[in-house]
Amino acid sequence: MHVLVLGAGQLARMMSLAGAPLNIEISAFDVNSENIVHPLTQTVLGHGLENAIAQADVITAEFEHIPHDVLDVCEKSGKFLPSTEAIKAGGDRRIEKALLDDSQVKNANYYIINNREDFDAAIAHVKLPMVLKSALGGYDGKGQWRLKSLDCVESIWQEMAECIAATPTQAIVAEAFIPFNREVSLVGARAKDGSVSVYPLAENIHTDGVLSLSTAIDDLELQSQAKQMFTAIANRLDYVGVLALEFFDVNGQLLVNEIAPRVHNSGHWTQQGAETCQFENHLRAVCGLPLGCTKLVRPTAMINILGEDSVPDALLSTEGCHVHWYGKEKRAGRKMGHINVCAQSTTDLQHTLSALAEVLDKAVYPAIHELAKSVN
């Protein structure tokens, strides 16, 4: 099997690593250069989409911000999974919100803003405090504003108006601010025959809007709520592949924050912590193979490595630690790799994580230092 992935970043790379044992070969389309590259070496294998589409058995995507003309030619080939509808919902918060409502899953109250009058209407409808998010192009907390007091309306409007003017078809989605207890996410897969398999929920800690620590959790009640919402959305899209849902946990009640129609950063722990990792299951689904078991095999957490290109030897020699580099050039704040940490029990996992605070820099890994403080 030969799978063409739209996007040539770390997610395509990890699909390639997971596909090799199944004889699934991956090539990646770099949307910026329009080159077809090898996802591990970035060696250029060809240029332009046409040939690559012809040579692929299946086409899929590793991110949702894909130009619509690219999506359209892929869809026309009849080889693209999941559907372009699903990718568009992940890349446009207006479509995403409509999908959540259609699927009857709980989400934050919202209002779409195209102009200054809409902003006033949003304030009346959603009420303060609110979170304002650009409909297109947002990721890692970028393209967002928080409105807590009416004093800031004009200054925020200036910035939002610039954002709207910069991109045709841009808008802002105003959302009620949700006072959540914690953030969790569910990664799961839906196969061509409609069967659904989900991983255990992960609890996610963000630092400056970027995921820093993700830990698989065992909570039967939340898991069942999350699976029900996952199934509603995946069925509504007739989804094929791995899909991720991000939730706010408000006193045991889940609200969907957003969806990602792809393998997800909060599912990287599955490489060491689940029977079949999310990358393999995505490939199995889009290639029409049965899904692999998604059960937890041992308590596992994932730590993102942001803006660093090395880790201390002491970490590499710590039992249960597995480092995954993405082969990227070092840049401040950039996702460079991640560390999966496994243990025999959740208590052991907490101890290993907090012991890592002794070898990991506080400025780079604040979530680990916070955790160490709370454990000790």
Q: Which residues bind Mg ion (CB under 5 A)?
A: 246
Helices and strands of the chain, counted as H and E runs: 13, 18
Is residue 139 within the footprint of ligand ATP (CB under 6 A)?
yes
| Residues 94, 100 contacting (CB under 8 angstroms) | no
Residue in 177, 325, 346, 351 binding ligand ATP, rule: CB under 6 A: 177
Both tokens of residue 129? 């405090």
Looking at the Cβ atoms of 49 and 131, the one nearer to ligand ATP is: 131
Q: How far is the CB of 246 from ligand ATP (least distance, A)?
A: 6
Torsions phi, psi of 360, nearest 5?
A: -105, 140
Residue in 257, 270, 278, 281 binding ligand ATP, rule: CB under 6 A: 257
User: What gap in Å lies between CA 288 and CA 309, rounded to an integer?
Assistant: 37
- Restricted to residues 201-230, the positions that interact with ligand ATP (CB under 6 A) are 206, 209, 211
User: What gap in Å lies between CA 81 and CA 282, rounded to an integer?
Assistant: 10
Is residue 258 within the footprint of ligand ATP (CB under 6 A)?
yes
Tell me how far CA of residue 110 lies from CA of 106, 249, 332, in angstroms. Answer: 12, 18, 33
Which candidate, 20, 40, 45, places its Cα nearest to that of 279? Answer: 20
Is residue 178 within the footprint of ligand ATP (CB under 6 A)?
yes
247 annotated binding-site participant: no
Is residue 75 within the footprint of ligand ATP (CB under 6 A)?
no
| Inter-helix orientation angle 346-356/366-375, to 10° | 120
Element (H, E) at 209: none
Looking at the Cβ atoms of 96 and 246, the one nearer to Mg ion is: 246
User: What gap in Å lies between CA 371 and CA 355, rounded to an integer?
Assistant: 10
Q: How far is the CB of 260 from ligand ATP (least distance, A)?
A: 7
257 annotated binding-site participant: yes
Q: How far is the CB of 55 from ligand ATP (least distance, A)?
A: 31
Looking at the Cβ atoms of 203 and 246, the one nearer to Mg ion is: 246
Q: Which residues are bridge partners to 88 per DSSP?
A: none
Q: How far is the CB of 368 from ligand ATP (least distance, A)?
A: 18
Contact residues toward ligand ATP (CB under 6 A) are 108, 131, 133, 138-142, 175, 177-178, 183, 206, 209, 211, 246, 257-258
Residues of the binding site for ATP = 93, 133, 138-144, 175-178, 183, 206, 257-258
